[in-house]
């Protein structure tokens, strides 16, 4: 067994939610790829990894895929809780963004988000924000895999004071980052169908098609949004996107809470995926995304944390259990969204939504080496009869090691790629200005 990094004595979970736990396994990484995995017996002492990690029976599984976040919004964590969504957005978040979002803020606050995510077992994130160039820099330095999407909105925005320039700014961002770093996939994130006009939406998607880049949009998040679109265009938000030709395999619909059967049929036919953010939808009382109906229609569905202003953490492990429990209660049926479905959604399901299903989200030879080690010697994970325990009793802090693209980026809960203390100091410094202003 020749490889660069060999993980031994692992409880392997190569395909969470689909396959079973495999005791006494190994995982071999060569360069940035998984080169082999199997039972320890197969190694037969013939071991020559350049680096060997003995995980002593702990769980080794694919890293989690966070299909929706606004990393830089760590700055606004807890700034405006317990408020109605439109008041939260218009009276608190938009003004705070107008006052404080600039490249340095995006850089440090995205870096804090990267730390929080890596420490919680997230190895891929789909991020969308303004000054996304600074976010992409932060993610690249942190060593987290990111689909980084430049924010587009038809209002004066941070970095793009004149909305006429918003597509140009997105094009420059894609130009700069496409192919520049193996961890970073640039894309475009249109805020929503109520903050971007039809022409902007069409031009943004056209740019994405020309560049082969992913397109994201918040859509069908609230009943209010649906009412507004119906009034202005006589269409549901999804039908509106469909009419503009925006729905295809490279489009990710974020939230997708208020969906009619016709909307689901449009999504199914188009191949577009959905990023469901249950904790954000709960906290802002947006509503309950019909995950069961989406899955029945074979629409790709992943799990997202959303930004820290509306969740308020970036803990996808915990979000799995929250999502399952919420749907059980809403359905009055404890058998819906079982733990395994959540595990699959948070790994391979999310990868499929981001068009990365062949690349990450499972441990298979040839796939990119994104994996995490979960400490099974925690009281909250004892005993560990099966993988569902991770969903219903696990939390991000149970993850002890994180490997992304073949590189160990976190070990023993210490980040290895950058100085987290410095980052927190910088975020606190900026947060004091925010506090003084509100």
Q: Are 372 and 395 in contact (CB under 8 A)?
A: no
* Least separation in angstroms between CB 164 and a second copy: 34
Q: What string marks each residue from 339 to 368 as x (binds a second copy by CB under 8 A) or -?
A: x-----------------------------
Q: Which parts of 154-213 interact with a second copy (CB under 8 A)?
A: none
CA proximity to 361, closest of 72, 123, 32, 45 = 123
Among 119, 344, 346, 372, binds a second copy (CB under 8 A): 119
Among 180, 296, 334, 437, binds a second copy (CB under 8 A): 334
Listed ranges 6-14, 79-87, 349-357, 361-369: which one lies at the site for a second copy (CB under 8 A)? 79-87
> CA angle, 118 as apex, 387 and 124 as ends, to 5°?
80
Q: Answer yes or no whether residue 106 interacts with a second copy by CB under 8 A.
A: no
Q: Answer yes or no whether residue 404 interacts with a second copy by CB under 8 A.
A: no
Q: Answer yes or no whether residue 104 interacts with a second copy by CB under 8 A.
A: no
* Least separation in angstroms between CB 318 and a second copy: 7
Among 25, 49, 396, 406, binds a second copy (CB under 8 A): 396
Listed ranges 21-29, 111-119, 131-139, 353-361: which one lies at the site for a second copy (CB under 8 A)? 111-119
Indicate the pairing of strand 145-152 with strand 48-54: unpaired
Q: Are 358 and 368 in contact (CB under 8 A)?
A: no
C-alpha to C-alpha distances, 129 to 70, 142, 199, 395, nearest whole angstrom:
6, 17, 20, 26
Beta strands in 40-95, from DSSP E residues, in sequence order? 48-54, 59-62, 64-69
* Least separation in angstroms between CB 100 and a second copy: 12
Q: Answer yes or no whether residue 44 interacts with a second copy by CB under 8 A.
A: no
Q: What SS3 class is residue 306?
A: coil
Q: What is the DSSP letter of 91?
A: I
Among 20, 23, 54, 84, binds a second copy (CB under 8 A): 84
Q: Answer yes or no whether residue 412 interacts with a second copy by CB under 8 A.
A: no
Among 210, 227, 377, 437, binds a second copy (CB under 8 A): 377
Half-sphere exposure of 32 (CA within 13 A, CB side): 10
CA proximity to 180, closest of 136, 241, 126 = 136
Q: What SS3 class is residue 103?
A: helix
Among 44, 82, 231, 366, binds a second copy (CB under 8 A): 82
Listed ranges 42-50, 204-212, 333-341, 348-356: which one lies at the site for a second copy (CB under 8 A)? 333-341
| Largest interatomic CA distance in the chain | 69
CA proximity to 124, closest of 415, 354, 393 = 354
- Residues sharing a CB contact under 8 Å with residue 381, sequence separation 6 or more, in sequence order: 374, 375, 389, 390, 393, 394, 398
Map 376-398 to HEC letters.
CCCHHHCCCCCCHHHHHHCCHHH
Q: Answer yes or no whether residue 392 interacts with a second copy by CB under 8 A.
A: yes
Give the Cα separation of 360 and 362 in Å (integer). 6
Q: Are 203 and 196 in contact (CB under 8 A)?
A: no
* Least separation in angstroms between CB 434 and a second copy: 8
Among 92, 176, 359, 395, binds a second copy (CB under 8 A): 395
Q: Answer yes or no whether residue 383 interacts with a second copy by CB under 8 A.
A: yes
* Least separation in angstroms between CB 342 and a second copy: 10
Q: Answer yes or no whether residue 276 interacts with a second copy by CB under 8 A.
A: no
Q: Answer yes or no whether residue 79 interacts with a second copy by CB under 8 A.
A: yes
Residues binding a second copy (CB under 8 A): 74-75, 77-79, 81-85, 88, 112, 115-116, 119-120, 279, 281-288, 308, 311-315, 318, 322, 324-326, 328-329, 331-335, 338-339, 377, 379-380, 382-386, 388-389, 391-393, 395-397, 420, 424, 427-428, 431, 434-435
């Amino acid at each position: 067994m020749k490889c660069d990094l060999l993980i031994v004595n692992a409880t392997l979970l190569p395909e969470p939610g689909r396959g079973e736990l495999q005791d006494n396994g190994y995982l071999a990484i060569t360069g940035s790829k998984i080169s082999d995995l199997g039972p320890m017996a197969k190694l037969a002492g013939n071991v020559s990894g350049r680096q060997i990690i003995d995980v002593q029976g702990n769980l080794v599984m694919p890293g989690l895929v966070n299909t929706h976040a606004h990393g830089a919004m760590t700055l606004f964590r807890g700034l405006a809780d317990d408020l109605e969504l439109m008041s939260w957005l218009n009276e608190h978040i938009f003004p705070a963004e107008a006052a404080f979002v600039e490249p340095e803020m995006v850089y440090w606050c995205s870096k804090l988000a990267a730390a929080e995510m890596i420490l919680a077992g997230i190895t891929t994130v789909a991020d969308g924000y303004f000054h996304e160039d600074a976010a992409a820099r932060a993610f690249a330095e942190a060593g987290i895999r990111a689909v980084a999407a430049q924010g587009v909105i038809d209002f004066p925005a941070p970095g793009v004071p004149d909305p006429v320039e918003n597509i140009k700014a997105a094009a420059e961002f894609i130009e700069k980052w496409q192919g520049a770093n193996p961890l970073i996939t640039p894309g475009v994130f249109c805020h929503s169908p109520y903050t971007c006009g039809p022409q902007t939406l069409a031009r943004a998607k056209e740019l994405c098609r020309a560049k082969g880049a992913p397109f994201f949009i918040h859509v069908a998040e609230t009943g209010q949004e649906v009412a507004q679109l119906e009034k202005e265009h006589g269409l549901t938000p999804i039908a509106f996107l469909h009419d503009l030709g925006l729905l295809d395999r490279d489009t990710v619909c974020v939230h997708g809470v208020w969906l009619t059967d016709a909307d689901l049929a449009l999504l199914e036919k188009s191949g577009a995926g959905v990023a469901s953010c249950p904790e954000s939808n709960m906290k802002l009382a947006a509503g309950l995304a019909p995950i069961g109906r989406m899955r029945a229609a074979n629409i790709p569905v992943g799990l997202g944390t959303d930004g820290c202003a509306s969740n308020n953490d970036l803990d996808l492990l915990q979000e799995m259990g929250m999502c399952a429990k919420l749907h059980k209660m809403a359905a009055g049926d404890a058998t819906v969204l079982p733990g395994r479905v959540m595990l699959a959604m948070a790994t391979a399901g999310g990868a499929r939504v981001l068009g990365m299903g062949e690349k990450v989200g499972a441990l298979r030879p040839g796939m990119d080496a994104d994996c995490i080690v979960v400490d099974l010697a925690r009281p909250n994970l004892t005993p560990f009869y099966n993988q569902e325990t991770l969903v219903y009793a696990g939390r991000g802090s149970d993850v002890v090691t994180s490997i992304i693209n073949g590189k160990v980026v976190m070990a023993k809960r210490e980040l290895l790629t950058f100085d987290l203390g410095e980052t927190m100091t910088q975020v606190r410094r900026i947060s004091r200005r925010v506090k003084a202003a509100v």
